[in-house]
Amino acid sequence: MTAAAVNGETGTVPTTTDPATATDAAGTAPTGAAAAADAATDAAPDAAGAVVTEETVPARAPWSAFVRRGQQLTITDLHGNQAVDFLVYDAHDTDVRYSAADTVHAQGGIFLTTGSVLMSNEHTRLMTIAEDTCGRHDTVGGACSKESNTLRYGHHTWPQHGCVENFLLEGARYGLGKRDLVSNVNWYMNVPVEEDGTLGIVDGISAPGLKVVLRAERDVLVLASNCPQINNPCNGFEPTAVRMTITEGAA
């Protein structure tokens, strides 16, 4: 069982908690990550709608945050046609994480929009899409990587980092590694399925200012990669910035 959390305001693991001085009900000291998770989730919430944190994520960059139960994460496509690869874990036990199979099974379809629920590998709710002004998001296209770029586009792309590398870089802050990466959500990415079952990565349907709003159904750790792909049209061949905003939900 692995626990991980970040400070809701700065996106970093709180440093004020001393695991050596904190004990659980059994009288044993929690791990540093577990103590940080407890400290972060025990904080008193602000008024509904209050902004907890707001960050502009540069093109090609990773991002992460801890989102408490009931809080909302808004992902805004600032310039249009920018894919955002996304993973989500239970903040107190990262062995419980997003499952594409459970999510598709639960809603009976592969595209996400308002009302869709991101399900865990234990078939429990992690986050719900409360609002979506784009209309459709991908669950099957996966994350780009140095290896997949080389296979699809040629060996000259090897120096280009992808979303897998971003996930590994950001996940390492919480003790996550390759074995913790699973099939991800691709916000704003247009991956149609043809009649013969083939997939395509084609021009996006997003536009500047469109957003998707996710409500946390439990305390979660979110990893995101502002997709650096330049070899297909998922980012219009020119990656751009997105905005991440965490707000307090209704009481």
Express each pLDDT in 89-129 by its tens digit: 999 999 999 999 999 999 999 999 999 999 999 999 999 99
Reply yes or no on whether the pLDDT at 3 is more than 70.
no
**Per-residue pLDDT for 49 more than 70?**
yes
Rounded to an integer, what distance in angstroms lies between the CA atom of residue 70 and that of residue 251? 8
**CB within 8 Å of 129: residues ≥ 6 apart:** 112, 113, 114, 115, 116, 117, 118, 212, 213, 214, 215
Which pLDDT score, from 0 to 100, does residue 42 have?
Answer: 58
215-243 per-position pLDDT tens digit: 999 999 999 999 998 767 788 888 999 99
φ and ψ at 152, to 5 degrees? Answer: -85, -35
Q: What whole-number percentage of the chain has pLDDT above 70?
A: 78
pLDDT score, position 96: 98
Residue 224: closest CA among 214, 238, 236: 214
Q: Which range has the top average pLDDT, 29-33, 43-47, 143-147, 246-250?
A: 246-250
pTM of the model: 0.82
Question: What are 163-188's pLDDT values in tens digits?
Answer: 999 999 999 999 999 999 999 999 99
- Report pLDDT for 242: 98
Supply 212's token pair: 């998707």
Band of residue 75 on the pLDDT scale cut at 50, 70, 90: very high
* pLDDT at residue 172, rounded to an integer: 97
Average pLDDT, the chain: 84
Average pLDDT over residues 143-163: 74
- 203, HSE (Cβ side, Cα atoms, 13 Å): 1
- Tell me: pLDDT of 138 over 90: yes
pLDDT at 15 over 50: no
Q: Per-residue pLDDT for 20 more than 80?
A: no
Q: How far apart are CA 213 and CA 112, in angstroms?
A: 12
Q: How confident is the model at residue 145 (pLDDT cuts 50, 70, 90)?
A: low
Phi-psi region of 14 (alpha: psi -120 to 50; beta: other; left: phi over 0): beta
